Structure 1
Amino acid sequence: MASRSHSGSRSRSGPLSFLASLYALDTLDTRFTTPSSVPYRVATDKREDDDKVVDKRVEPPKWKSLEFYLYYLVFLIVVPYMFWVAYDVSRPSDPRYNRFKNRLVDGWIPGRKIDVSDAQYYTFRINLPYMALLLVFHPLLRKVWNAIYPVPQELKAARANVPEAAEARLRQRTSYDSVFAVFFLVVLHGFSAAKILTILAINYKIATSVPKKYIPPVTWVFGIFILFANELGDGYKFRDIALLVTGTPAEVLGTYTPTLVELGIWLDRHGGLMRRWEILFNITVLRLVSFNLDYYWSLDRRASSPIEKKQLDPANLSERDRIATPASPQDFCFRSYLAYAIYAPLYLTGPIITFNDYISQQRYQPATISSSRTLKYAIRFGLVLLAMELVLHYDYVGAISKSRPDWSSYTPAQISLLSYFNLHIIWLKLLLPWRFFRLWSLVDGIDPPENMLRCVSDNYSTLSFWRGWHRSYYRWLLRYIYIPLGGSSFRSARDAARTVLTYLVVFTFVALWHDIKLNLLIWGWLIVVFFLPEIAAGVLFPRRKWESRPTAYRMLCCVGGVANVLMMISANLVGFAVGLDGLENIVRGIFRDYSGLVFLVTACSALFVGIQVMFEIRQSELRRGINLKC
C-alpha cells in the first residue's frame, strides 16, 4: 500500500515538474542561466559541484508575507476584470460592434469569430502549416546532402574537436546552406532573387576590396542606402527598370509597350511566394553589416590566434568567445557569406546571429542544443500560439483600434485596457515568428539568441525593457554601434551629453531600420527621452544610500516603475499601434471627466502591485544565482 501511494505521489508530481521545466529559463535559452564568458559545459558542471554565490542584493523571500497576500487579492480581482472589459466591448451586443465586425472571420472555436485585422499575424497564421512542413523538410534534406557529400570516413571516426573534422563539418554544412539559400530565394522571391544576390555581391565586394580603413564607413553608408532605396524604390520592379532603360513614359503604356517593358512586367508577375521581398530584407542588412565588420576586425588579429593564446577548447567556447574570436581568413569566402546571409531558418525574421558565431557553431555544434530542450521549446511555442488564438477569439481589440473608433464613446477603463491588450497582441505577433524560426534553427543545429525574455507585462524599467525586447537585435546594436561609439558614461556633463547623443544615434537607426515613418522616429526619440528620468533617478537615489531602509527604497523604486510603465506604454502605442494622434485621443478620453482621473489612480495602484511582484520575481532569480539585468 505504501509503495502504491509513493508511486501515485510521483505520478502527480511528474506533470507539475514537467510543466515547471517548460517555463524554466534554461528551456527558453541557456544564455539566461549561463554567463556569456563561461562555456556551457563548464557552467553546468559548476552548478552541480559548487554552492551558488549569493548576490548582495538578495533579500529574504516575501511570497508568504502579509503584504504579498494583499497583492494576491488584488490580482484575483484586477486581472479577471481587465479581461472582462476587453471582452465586453468585443461582444456583438456592443452598440459599436458593426464598426469593426468586417475585420472578423469565423474562428475555430465554436460560436466565436477571430480578429484578423493584423495583416502581419494573419500572414504568419495562414502560412504556419507550410512553414511547419519546411521546418521538417529542411533538416531532413540536410541529412540527404550529408549522405551524398559525406565527411571522409577517417575524419568521421575522429573526435569532434579534431581540427580537420571540424573543418570538414564546416564545409559540409556551409555548402548545403549556400545551395539551399539560392533555392530558398528563388522559391520565395522568384526572379527578384537576382536583386538580392546583386546586393549581397556588392556588399561582399565592399568588405573584400575596399581599403581597410574605409570598410566601416562604406559598409554603413551602403547599408543605410539600401534601407532607403528598398523603401523608396518599392523593391526595384523590373517594369520600372525597363521603363528607365528604354526611356518610355509610364503614361503611354496603355497604347505602346516596348518588348523590354513587357519582359519586365512578366518577370514581376513571377515574384515567388513573397513578391515584396524588400519588406523583410531589413533583417538581412544587419547580417551584411555583421559580415563586413567581423571581417574588418579580423584583419587586426590574424597574426595570432586568440584560441591558442588563451588556450581555449574550440569545441567548448563561451558565447562571448564565439562572437569575439574572428573566423579564419578562409572562412570569409563567398560561400560562407551566402550561407550566413541567407541562412533559411533565420532569413525572414531572425533572431540575429553574428557571422563569427555562425561559423563557430557550424564547426562545432554547441553543447546547449539537446533534443529534450528543443522539444520543450516547441511545446512552449505551441502554448504561446494557443494564448494568441484565445485572445484573438475573445478580445477584438485590434479590430476596434483599426476601425477608427470614436474614443469619446468609450469609458476611460475601456480606452486604457483596449490599448493595453493591443500592446500584448503586438508582443505576441512578434514573439511567435521569432520563436518559430528559432525553433527551426535549433532543430537544424544552430542556437541563436532568444529574442523575448519576459512578457510585455513583466517590465518596469525602460532600460531593462529594451534589453529584453528583441534581445538579439539589442546585442547586435551593442556590438556594432553602441560600443564603437563609446558606450555610456555619466561621470561628467560632457560624458553625459555624449551618451545621450549615442542613444539618439542608436535609436534613430533603430527607427529607420524598422520603417521609414515619422511615428517610428518619434517612438525612437521618445525611448531616449524616457531613458533619462530612470538614469537620473539612479544617480540621485543610489541603492547604497538606502541599504538601511530596503523597504522604503523598494517602495520608492516602485513609484518610479509605475511612471516608467506609463511612458513605455505611450511610446509603443505611438510607434506600433495608434500613432501620435491616436495616443492624443486616448489621453484626452482618459482625462475627459472626473471618472477618468479616478480610473487613472486605480490603474496606477494596480500597476504598483504588479511591479512589486516583478521585483520579487527578479529577487527569486537572484536567489538562484541568475542576474538577467532586465
Structure 2
Amino acid sequence: MAASRNGSTGTRRRRGPLAVLASIYDLDTLDTRFTTPATVPYKAAIDSRPRSGSENKADRRGAERPKWNTPEYWAYYLVFLFVVPLMFWIAYDVSRPSDPRYPKYEHWLAEGWIPGRRIDMSDAQYFTFRKNLPFMAMLLIFHPLCRRVWNAVYSVSPEVRAPEAAEARLRQRTSFDYVFALLFLVVLHGFSAAKILLILAINYKLATGLPRKYIPVATWGFNISMLFANELCKGYRFRDIALIVAGPPAKDIVTDTSVLVNVGAWLDSYGGIMSRWQILFNITVLRLVSFNLDYYWSLNQRGSSPLEKKQLDPANLSERDRISIPASPQDFSFRNYVSYAIYAPLYLTGPILTFNDYMAQQRHRPATLSTARTVRYAVRFGLTLLAMELVLHYDYVGAIAKSRPQWDSYTPAQISMLSYFNLHIIWLKLLLPWRFFRLWSLADGVDPPENMLRCVSDNYSTLSFWRGWHRSFYRWLLRYIYIPLGGSSFRTAWDAARSVVTYLVVFTFVALWHDISLNLLVWGWLVVLFFLPEIAAGYLFPKRKWEGRPTAYRMLCAVGAVGNVLMMISANLVGFAVGVDGLKSIVKGIFRDYSGLVFIGTASVAVFVGIQVMFEIRQSELRRGINLKC
C-alpha cells in the first residue's frame, strides 16, 4: 500500500487494526527510498511534507482522478471475487492426496505444522533457509549486542565534535566490522576463509597497485574470471591443490598416502557451516567491483572536496550523494575494504550496498533509521514468511514440477496455475532471505536498499519489472555497467542497435552471474528480446497523441501489457523453474486441443482486468506524489 504524503507522521495519527496493517504495508515502511526522491536528503523531505492531509499539487502532475468507485472497477472487483479463489482452488485441487498423481511427488513432501497437511520441501534454497532460520534469528540478536559491547569498550567521547566525531564513529564501526568479518568467515567456511581473503587481497592489489588506466579492465577481467573459476574448480579444494603440487602418484601405488594430500583432505574436512563457499560468493564479487570502481572514480577528484564545493552537510546527504560522492582517500584502506566486502548482515545474499554508501553510513547514522519502522518491517517479514508457509502447505506446485510430470495429464487451467504459483514460490524464496538480511542490517544501523518493491503479480511492464526485481542489483548494474556503456537511446537506427547490444551485454552478465547455465543464458537473451515489443509500442503509440482519449489509451496499453505478462512468465519459467524443454512441454500441454485456446482467451481477460487494477495502484501512488517508475 502506498505511503501517504504525511509519511509515518500521518500513520501515527490513525487508530485501529486496519490502520496498523496499513502502516505495516506502507511504502515508507518498506523503504524510505520509495517515498523520498534520491536527490533530496531524508530530513529535508520530511520537513517539506505537508503536516495536514492535503497533498502537494506539484507532485500530482500527470495523475488521473480515482477510478476505484466507478462502475468499470466494480465490474473488475466481481472478476477478482470469482477468479482469485478459483486460481487457488485449481492449484490446491491437484495437490490433494486423492489426486492419482500424488504418489509421484509424495517423496518431496515433509511433515507440516498445519494439522492434516504436509509441506512441500522440494526447493533446496528455501529448505536451507527454513532450517537455519532459528540460528540466523539468534545471530540477528547476537551481532548487534556484540556491537554494543564493542562500542562500550571503544567508546567515542561525547566531548568530541564534528567532524572528529564522525571519524571516530567510522573507526569504531569499521574496526568492529573487520574483526567480526574475520570470525564470521572462519565460522562459515572454516579453512576456506583463507581462499576468500586471498581473492580479496588480489582484487585490492589490482585497484591500489596498478596504474589508474588499467584498473577497470583488470577489475572486470579478474572478477569475471573468478565467477567461472570458483564454479569450475568447485571452490579450490585443498586436496585437489595438494594433488597438483605433489604430482600424480606412482603407478604401483593403489592408495595415495602423500602427507601433503592427507593434509589437504584434513583441511577440506573443516569447511565450516557452509563448506561450499563459492555458491554464494557471487554477491561478494559485486562488492569487489564496487570497491575497485569507486576507488578508480575517486582518483579523478583527489585534491578537491565535493562536500565543500556543493556546501553539503555530510550528516544529511541524499542517497544519490552518498553513492556518487567518493569516500575520502584514507577510507580506501584494506581494513575498510574487508569490513565492507564481508559485512556480516549483507555478506550471504545482499542487498548490495556500494562502497561509497557504506562508508557514508558508517560515518553518520542514516536519518532513515527508526526503531518503529524497523519493528514494522520485521512484522512484515513475519507475515511474508507465513504466506510462504501457507502456500507450501496447500499447493505442492514445486514438488509436482520436480517430479517430471506428464503435462498432458493435466488440464490447461491446471498447467497454467501450477506454472503461475511456481513463479510465486520462486519470488517468495528470494524475497524472504533478502528481507531477513536487510532486517539484520537495519537492526545494526545500516540502511541498504530494499530488493523487492512489488509482488510478482503486480507487474505488467518488462522494463519496469527489472527496476523492481532485485532492485539493489539493478541499481548496481546501472552504476557499474549500463551507464558506463552509454545507456540506451532509440532516436536513430544506430542508437537502437547500440542499445540492444548494451542490453545483451548487461543481461548476459546477469545470467552468467547467477550461474553458468544454458537455461539462464537463454533466459537473459529472452528478456532482451521481450524488451523490444514494449519499446517499439512506446514509439508507435506515444502517449502525447492520445491525450484526448485517455480511456482508449489505457485500454490499448492493457492489451499490450497482457502480452508482456505472458512473455515475462515464459522467460522466468525458462530461467528459474522448468527450463527450455519444460516450457515446451507446458505450452504443448496447454495447446493440445481447443479447450486450451478457450482457456488462454479467458485467462487473458482475467490478466487484462488485473492490469487495469495495477494501473490504478500506480495512479494512487502518483496522487500521493510517489512515482516509482515500476
TM range (shorter): over 0.9
5+ residue gaps, structure 1: 1-9
C-alpha distance in 2, partners of 1:324/1:214?
21
Is the CA contact (8 Å cut-off) linking 2:56 and 2:625 kept in structure 1? no
State the partner residue of 2:82: 77
In structure 1, what is the equivalent of residue 366 of structure 2? 366
Residue pair 2:290, 2:354 contacting (<8 A) in 1 also: yes
1:507 aligns with 2:512: no
1:111 aligned partner: 116
SS of 2:552's equivalent? helix
Q: Is 1:90 aligned to 2:102, yes or no?
A: no
CA separation of 1:611 and 1:249: change in aligned 2, threshold 3 A: farther
1:291 Cα deviation from its structure 2 partner: 0.1
Corresponding residue number in structure 1 for 2:284: 284
Alpha-carbon distance in 2 for matches of 1:51, 1:549: 26
2:135 is matched with 130
Which structure 2 residues correspond to residues 531-610 of structure 1 after superposition, within 5 A?
Answer: 531-610=531-610
Structure 2: distance between partners of 1:586 and 1:469 = 25
Aligned to 2:43: 41
Question: In the TM superposition, what whole-angstrom CA distance separates every residue of 1:196-245 from its partner, at most 9, and x where no partner exists?
Answer: 00000000000000110000000000010000000000000000000000
Q: CA, structure 1 residues 21+11, in 2 after alignment: closer, same or farther (shift >3 Å)? A: closer
Contact 1:52–1:624 under 8 Å retained in 2: no
Amino acid across the alignment from 1:425: I
Alignment-derived partner of residue 153 in structure 2: 148
Deviations 1:328-366 (A, max 9, x none): 000000010000000000000000000000000000010
Task: Specify the SS of the correspondent of 1:299.
Answer: helix
Partner of 1:27: 29
C-alpha separation between the residues in 2 aligned to 1:79 and 1:11? 33
Tell me the amino acid that sits aligned with residue 279 of structure 2: I
Deviation of the 1:511 alpha carbon: 0.2
Q: How many residues align?
A: 616
1:340 corresponds to which residue? 340
- Structure 1 counterpart of 2:338, which letter? L
Deviation, structure 1 residue 154:
2.2
Amino acid at match of 1:590: I
The letter for the 1-side match of 2:598 is: V
Which residues in structure 2 correspond to 1:143-222 (within 5 Å)? 143-155=148-160, 158=161, 162-222=162-222
CA contact (8 A) 1:106 1:112 kept: yes
Aligned to 1:5: none
In 2, the alpha carbon distance for the partners of 1:12 and 1:165 equals 38
Question: 1:292-336 CA deviation, whole Å, 9 max, x = no partner?
Answer: 000000000112111100000000000000000000000000010
Corresponding letter in the other structure for 1:26: D
What amino acid is the match of 2:109? L
d(CA) in 2 for partners of 1:410, 1:326:
57
Q: Give 2:70's match in structure 1, choosing from 65, 74, 84.
A: 65
Instruction: Decide whether aligned partners of structure 1 residues 286 and 250 sit closer, same or farther in structure 2, where only a CA change above 3 A counts.
Output: farther
List alignment gaps of at least 5 residues for structure 2: 1-11
Normalized against structure 1, the TM-score is what? Answer: 0.96
Equivalent pair of 2:249/2:256 in contact (CA under 8 Å): no
Cα distance in 1 for partners of 2:186, 2:43 equals 40
When structure 1 is superposed on structure 2, of 242-251 and 455-464 the one drifting more is 242-251
Residue 110 of structure 2 aligns to a residue whose secondary structure is: strand
Query: Post-superposition shift, 1:148?
Result: 1.5
Task: Report if the CA contact (8 A) 2:39-2:320 is conserved.
Answer: yes
Which whole-Å CA distance do the structure 2 matches of 1:27 and 1:445 have between them? 16
Are the counterparts in 2 of residues 243 and 250 from structure 1 also a CA contact under 8 Å? no
Shift of 1:143: 0.7
Aligned to 1:378: 378
Distance 1:382 1:617 in 2: 24
Contact residue 110 and residue 120 of structure 2 kept, 8 A:
yes
Asked whether the equivalents of residues 460 and 561 of structure 2 are also in contact (C-alpha less than 8 Å), the reply is yes
Matching of residue 225 in structure 1 with residue 221 in structure 2? no
**Amino acid paired to 1:423:** L
DSSP 3-state at the match of 1:114? strand
Q: Which amino acid aligns with 2:259?
A: T
TM-superposed CA distance for 1:253, in Å, is: 8.0
- Which residue is equivalent to 1:297? 297
Residue 255 and residue 105 in structure 1: after superposition, are their counterparts in 2 closer, same or farther (change >3 A)? same
Q: Aligned-pair distance for 1:54?
A: 4.0
Q: In the TM superposition, what is the alpha-carbon distance from 1:15 to its structure 2 partner?
A: 1.6
Q: CA deviation at 1:248?
A: 2.2
Quote the offset at 1:56 in angstroms. 3.4
Percent of pairs with identical residues: 77
- Give the alignment of 1:423-462 within 5 angstroms: 423-462=423-462
Map Cα deviations across residues 353-394 of structure 1 (whole Å, 9 max, x no partner).
000000000000100000000000000000000000000000
TM-score w.r.t. structure 2 length? 0.96
Q: CA deviation at 1:57?
A: 2.1
CA contact (8 A) 2:38 2:319 kept: yes
SS of the residue corresponding to residue 91 of structure 1 reads coil
SS at match of 1:105: strand
Task: Measure the CA separation in 1 of the matches of 2:490 and 2:414.
Answer: 41
Residue 507 to residue 253, structure 1, CA distance change in 2 (3 Å): farther
* Inter-partner Cα distance in structure 2 for 1:522 and 1:424: 21
Structure 1 position 150, deviation (Å):
1.4
